[in-house]
Structure 1
Amino acid sequence: MEILVREIAAALPEPERALYRFITEAEDNLARQSDTREQFMNLLTVHSPHHQAAKRFQLTLEETVAAMQKIEDKIGTKLEERLKGYKWMDYTGQQDQPEKLCFLCFI
């Protein structure tokens, strides 16, 4: 799924793509610095990616949050559309390593 989301995000118009990448990369960096969910939430509060993006893109915080919600909605809609064309088959247990998950995807 993450691969599909990245593909969809890469196809966004430049202003949306830049804002989305800036915020998600900042969130990912904070997640890598965190050992727990609580620590991550604290870092999000202290180093708010949305506040940073607002400054970087010369927007208000409200405009930044609204734009990000719109972008995420757009990505979600496009992801749903793409997934309708996929068929997933669970092959877990039908291989030599039953403890590993295995799926086959038809496009």
Structure 2
Amino acid sequence: MKYLHKTNKIFTILGIGVSLTFWGAMIALPVLGLAQIIMCIIIFYHRKNLTKKTLKLFYAYVIATIGLAGTFKTLEVVKALDTLSLMFIWMFVSAGLAFFHLYVTYLINKDYEL
């Protein structure tokens, strides 16, 4: 658990850095997302060791991620936005979620240092 933050920081920096090129985002953000899903599974397995604040933020992250993924899937199916606009919005939302997950792993790392 104590290495999650360092690993997440590396994946986030690389993912967001490569995302500065539009086409790089199509490769980097799914890899970052997969890494963060694996980290979420690890965090969920160790959830009993987390403080209440960290646990609430972790659940908020999970709910926000699932809700936003569903929203974007619905927008894609309904064709409410053109594909390019949807991709740009999804890139910025993904970056926000990545930084939120980075903050959660930071809190977990801080909790384990105590």
Using structure 1 for the length normalisation, give the TM-score.
0.39
Higher helix share: 2
Higher strand share: 1
Using structure 2 for the length normalisation, give the TM-score.
0.37
Q: Which has the higher contact order (CA 8 A, sep 6+)?
A: 2
